[in-house]
Structure 1
Amino acid sequence: MGIGVGVFLAAIGAVLAFAVQDNISDVDLTAVGYILMVAGVVGVLLELMLFAPRRRAGGVVEERRVYDEPRR
Protein backbone atom coordinates (compact mmCIF):
# COMPACT_ATOMS: atom_id res chain seq x y z
CA MET A 1 0.00 0.00 0.00
CA GLY A 2 1.42 3.36 -0.95
CA ILE A 3 1.19 6.67 0.81
CA GLY A 4 -1.65 7.79 -1.43
CA VAL A 5 -3.78 4.75 -0.65
CA GLY A 6 -3.18 5.21 3.07
CA VAL A 7 -4.22 8.86 2.96
CA PHE A 8 -7.26 7.93 0.88
CA LEU A 9 -8.34 5.28 3.42
CA ALA A 10 -7.86 7.72 6.30
CA ALA A 11 -9.91 10.38 4.50
CA ILE A 12 -12.78 8.01 3.67
CA GLY A 13 -12.68 6.75 7.25
CA ALA A 14 -12.87 10.29 8.62
CA VAL A 15 -15.86 11.06 6.41
CA LEU A 16 -17.64 7.90 7.57
CA ALA A 17 -16.77 8.46 11.23
CA PHE A 18 -17.54 12.15 11.53
CA ALA A 19 -19.77 13.30 8.66
CA VAL A 20 -22.19 10.48 7.86
CA GLN A 21 -25.29 10.37 10.03
CA ASP A 22 -27.08 7.55 8.18
CA ASN A 23 -28.06 4.28 9.83
CA ILE A 24 -27.66 0.96 8.07
CA SER A 25 -29.03 -2.11 9.80
CA ASP A 26 -26.30 -4.23 11.45
CA VAL A 27 -23.52 -1.86 10.28
CA ASP A 28 -22.00 0.81 12.51
CA LEU A 29 -20.59 3.36 10.06
CA THR A 30 -18.71 5.16 12.81
CA ALA A 31 -16.81 1.99 13.70
CA VAL A 32 -16.12 1.28 10.02
CA GLY A 33 -14.79 4.83 9.69
CA TYR A 34 -12.46 4.44 12.65
CA ILE A 35 -11.20 1.10 11.31
CA LEU A 36 -10.45 2.67 7.92
CA MET A 37 -8.67 5.61 9.55
CA VAL A 38 -6.48 3.30 11.62
CA ALA A 39 -5.72 1.14 8.57
CA GLY A 40 -4.76 4.23 6.56
CA VAL A 41 -2.48 5.63 9.25
CA VAL A 42 -0.81 2.25 9.79
CA GLY A 43 -0.31 1.90 6.04
CA VAL A 44 1.31 5.33 5.75
CA LEU A 45 3.58 4.67 8.75
CA LEU A 46 4.65 1.30 7.38
CA GLU A 47 5.34 2.84 4.00
CA LEU A 48 7.48 5.59 5.50
CA MET A 49 9.40 3.47 8.00
CA LEU A 50 9.89 0.16 6.20
CA PHE A 51 9.57 0.59 2.47
CA ALA A 52 10.74 4.17 1.78
CA PRO A 53 14.40 3.64 2.82
CA ARG A 54 14.70 0.86 0.23
CA ARG A 55 13.72 3.21 -2.57
CA ARG A 56 16.42 5.77 -1.90
CA ALA A 57 19.44 5.92 -4.15
CA GLY A 58 22.46 4.00 -2.99
CA GLY A 59 24.73 7.00 -3.20
CA VAL A 60 26.78 8.78 -5.81
CA VAL A 61 27.83 6.74 -8.81
CA GLU A 62 31.31 7.54 -9.99
CA GLU A 63 32.29 6.86 -13.56
CA ARG A 64 35.89 5.83 -14.22
CA ARG A 65 37.51 4.83 -17.44
CA VAL A 66 39.72 1.81 -17.29
CA TYR A 67 41.63 2.56 -20.49
CA ASP A 68 42.29 6.19 -21.21
CA GLU A 69 43.60 7.30 -24.58
CA PRO A 70 47.06 8.89 -24.41
CA ARG A 71 47.23 12.67 -24.80
CA ARG A 72 49.05 14.11 -27.81
Structure 2
Amino acid sequence: MRIGAGIALIAAGAIIAFAVRDTSDTLNLTALGIIIMLGGAAGIWLSYRLANRRRGHDDVVVIDPDVEKQYNTAPPDQVADHPIDVTPTHLREDHKDLRK
Protein backbone atom coordinates (compact mmCIF):
# COMPACT_ATOMS: atom_id res chain seq x y z
CA MET A 1 0.00 0.00 0.00
CA ARG A 2 1.35 3.39 -0.93
CA ILE A 3 0.73 6.70 0.76
CA GLY A 4 -1.91 7.67 -1.79
CA ALA A 5 -3.94 4.54 -1.05
CA GLY A 6 -3.68 5.23 2.67
CA ILE A 7 -4.94 8.78 2.18
CA ALA A 8 -7.79 7.46 0.02
CA LEU A 9 -8.75 5.00 2.78
CA ILE A 10 -8.71 7.76 5.37
CA ALA A 11 -10.91 9.95 3.16
CA ALA A 12 -13.34 7.11 2.42
CA GLY A 13 -13.50 6.18 6.10
CA ALA A 14 -14.18 9.79 7.08
CA ILE A 15 -17.00 9.99 4.54
CA ILE A 16 -18.52 6.75 5.81
CA ALA A 17 -18.09 7.71 9.47
CA PHE A 18 -19.22 11.33 9.39
CA ALA A 19 -21.22 12.00 6.22
CA VAL A 20 -23.37 8.92 5.70
CA ARG A 21 -26.42 8.61 7.97
CA ASP A 22 -28.06 5.22 8.16
CA THR A 23 -30.21 3.76 10.89
CA SER A 24 -29.22 0.14 10.56
CA ASP A 25 -29.17 -2.00 13.68
CA THR A 26 -26.75 -4.55 12.25
CA LEU A 27 -24.00 -2.24 10.96
CA ASN A 28 -22.59 0.80 12.74
CA LEU A 29 -21.29 3.02 9.94
CA THR A 30 -19.44 5.34 12.32
CA ALA A 31 -17.39 2.46 13.73
CA LEU A 32 -16.82 1.04 10.24
CA GLY A 33 -15.57 4.43 8.99
CA ILE A 34 -13.19 4.81 11.92
CA ILE A 35 -11.83 1.29 11.33
CA ILE A 36 -11.22 2.12 7.67
CA MET A 37 -9.50 5.38 8.67
CA LEU A 38 -7.24 3.50 11.11
CA GLY A 39 -6.42 1.02 8.35
CA GLY A 40 -5.41 3.91 6.07
CA ALA A 41 -3.23 5.42 8.82
CA ALA A 42 -1.60 2.04 9.44
CA GLY A 43 -0.98 1.69 5.70
CA ILE A 44 0.72 5.11 5.55
CA TRP A 45 2.86 4.23 8.56
CA LEU A 46 3.81 0.84 7.10
CA SER A 47 4.64 2.40 3.75
CA TYR A 48 6.89 4.94 5.45
CA ARG A 49 8.63 2.28 7.55
CA LEU A 50 9.28 0.04 4.54
CA ALA A 51 10.59 2.91 2.43
CA ASN A 52 12.97 4.14 5.15
CA ARG A 53 14.16 0.97 6.80
CA ARG A 54 17.80 0.52 7.68
CA ARG A 55 19.73 -1.68 5.36
CA GLY A 56 21.93 -3.37 7.96
CA HIS A 57 24.29 -0.42 8.48
CA ASP A 58 24.73 -0.38 12.22
CA ASP A 59 28.17 1.19 12.46
CA VAL A 60 28.53 3.81 9.76
CA VAL A 61 31.89 5.58 9.66
CA VAL A 62 31.33 9.02 8.23
CA ILE A 63 34.90 10.32 8.59
CA ASP A 64 38.00 8.20 8.39
CA PRO A 65 39.82 8.42 11.77
CA ASP A 66 43.13 9.26 10.04
CA VAL A 67 41.50 12.17 8.25
CA GLU A 68 39.81 13.28 11.45
CA LYS A 69 43.22 13.64 13.13
CA GLN A 70 44.15 16.33 10.59
CA TYR A 71 41.23 18.47 11.71
CA ASN A 72 41.68 18.03 15.45
CA THR A 73 40.73 21.28 17.16
CA ALA A 74 42.31 20.55 20.54
CA PRO A 75 44.37 23.46 21.89
CA PRO A 76 48.14 23.20 21.43
CA ASP A 77 50.22 21.70 24.22
CA GLN A 78 52.51 24.70 24.42
CA VAL A 79 51.58 28.37 24.12
CA ALA A 80 53.91 30.86 22.39
CA ASP A 81 56.30 32.45 24.91
CA HIS A 82 56.50 35.75 23.02
CA PRO A 83 53.76 38.30 22.30
CA ILE A 84 52.03 37.90 18.99
CA ASP A 85 51.41 41.06 16.96
CA VAL A 86 47.85 41.07 15.73
CA THR A 87 47.96 44.54 14.17
CA PRO A 88 46.77 44.49 10.56
CA THR A 89 49.64 44.62 8.10
CA HIS A 90 48.64 47.90 6.51
CA LEU A 91 48.70 49.65 9.93
CA ARG A 92 52.13 48.44 11.07
CA GLU A 93 54.98 50.92 11.21
CA ASP A 94 57.48 48.50 9.69
CA HIS A 95 55.17 47.74 6.74
CA LYS A 96 56.88 48.23 3.40
CA ASP A 97 54.79 49.83 0.70
CA LEU A 98 54.83 47.46 -2.27
CA ARG A 99 53.62 50.12 -4.72
CA LYS A 100 56.95 51.97 -4.80
Q: Into which bin does the TM-score normalised by the smaller protein fall?
A: 0.5 to 0.7
Point out the structure with the larger helix share: 1
Computed over aligned residues only, the root mean square deviation of the Cα atoms, in angstroms, reads 1.3
Q: What's the TM-score once normalised by structure 1's chain length?
A: 0.66
Of all paired residues, the percent bearing the same amino acid is 45
Higher relative contact order (CA 8 A, sep 6+): 1
Give the greater-gyration-radius structure (CA). Answer: 2
User: Who is 1:24 aligned against?
Assistant: 24
Gaps of 5+ in 2: 54-100
Q: What's the TM-score once normalised by structure 2's chain length?
A: 0.49
Which runs of structure 1 show a deviation greater than 3 angstroms over 4 or more consecutive aligned residues? none
Matched residue count = 53
Does 1:6 find its partner at 2:6?
Answer: yes
Structure 1 residues 30-57: Cα deviation after superposition (integer angstroms, max 9, x where no partner):
01000000000011011112x2126xxx
